[in-house]
Amino acid sequence: MMVLISYDVSTIDKLGRTRLRKVAKECQNHGQRVQNSVFEADLDYSSFLKLKNRLLKIIDPEKDSLRFYYLGNNWGKRIEHIGIKQTYNPEGTIIV
Amino acid sequence: MMVLISYDVSTIDKLGRTRLRKVAKECQNHGQRVQNSVFEADLDYSSFLKLKNRLLKIIDPEKDSLRFYYLGNNWGKRIEHIGIKQTYNPEGTIIV
């Protein structure tokens, strides 16, 4: 299933900047960066839950936020990109 | 229909920072900010096209990007929020 993951991590202190790096790295390991803090991950449910749990352990829920958008299987029709960075074929690029 | 709008605007120069402010303002006028550069807008198709056209006129497609995710009508099931900022009822808050 395709999941869009977006995050806001507070970077006003060093701990926040560390969390930001960790969140970004975790998302990069399992999805495709499409914008600065927006990733798309095409994962089976089990892999997605593992990723989600890892992200939950990294963020500070009182300072940061995560949003997951479950785009389903017909996700190709749901996405439109304009401007820099090409759309992509996730099957070809995702590291699971 | 519910549309998720995310953007990356290059802010390395003053023109970019102006574009960023304009994009954010346009999205704020028609949607709900859910993260720093992520908005959700529940608009009819005609209003959405107008918003999209305004955004296209603001961005520099060689430096910035816009992504639209068409979440459809059953969008409530598609979204999960974790951490700061509450989820919201868009009918109650959107200014169209």
What sections of chain B are H helices per DSSP?
14-30, 45-58, 90-93
Domain membership of residue A91 (yes or no) is: no
B61 touches A at CB < 8 Å: yes
Q: Are A37 and B36 in contact (CB < 8 Å)? A: yes
For B66, the closest of A36, A63, A83 (CB atoms) is: A83
- Total structural domains within chain A: 1
Distances (CA, A) of B65 to A30, B5, B59: 22, 11, 8
Q: Two tokens at B33? A: 């900010």
Of B6, B56, B84, the CB nearest to A35: B6
Is residue B78 one of the residues assigned to a domain?
no
- Examine residue A61 and state whether it is found in any structural domain, yes or no: yes
What pLDDT score was predicted for residue B73?
Answer: 80
Strands B2-8 and A38-42: what pairing? unpaired
Provide the residue range defining the domain that includes A44: 2-73
Q: Quick check: is A79 in a domain?
A: no
The answer to whether position B62 is within a domain reads yes
Asked if the structure places residue B79 within a domain, the reply is no
Q: Is residue B88 part of a domain?
A: no
- Asked if A59 and B7 come within 8 Å (Cβ–Cβ), the reply is no
Please give chain B's pLDDT, 96 residues, in tens: 999 999 999 999 999 999 999 999 999 999 999 999 999 999 999 999 999 999 999 999 999 999 999 998 888 888 999 999 754 444 444 333
B8 is in an annotated binding site: yes
pLDDT of residue A76: 85
Is the CB of A96 inside 8 Å of chain B's CB atoms? no
Percent pLDDT > 90 in chain B is 78
For residue B95, is it within any domain? no
Q: Which of B1, B82, B86 is the mutation pick for testing A, counting most A CBs within 10 A?
A: B82
d(CA B70, CA A43): 20
A76 in contact with B, Cβ within 8 Å: no
Which pLDDT belongs to residue A21?
A: 97
| CB–CB contact B35 A77 (8 Å) | no
The pLDDT tens digits along chain A (96 residues) read 999 999 999 999 999 999 999 999 999 999 999 999 999 999 999 999 999 999 999 999 999 999 999 998 888 888 999 999 754 444 444 333
As a whole number of angstroms, the distance between CA B8 and CA B63 comes to: 9
B1/A contact by beta carbon, under 8 A: no
CATH of the domain at A67: 3.30.70.240
Judge contact between B71 and A77, C-beta under 8 A: no
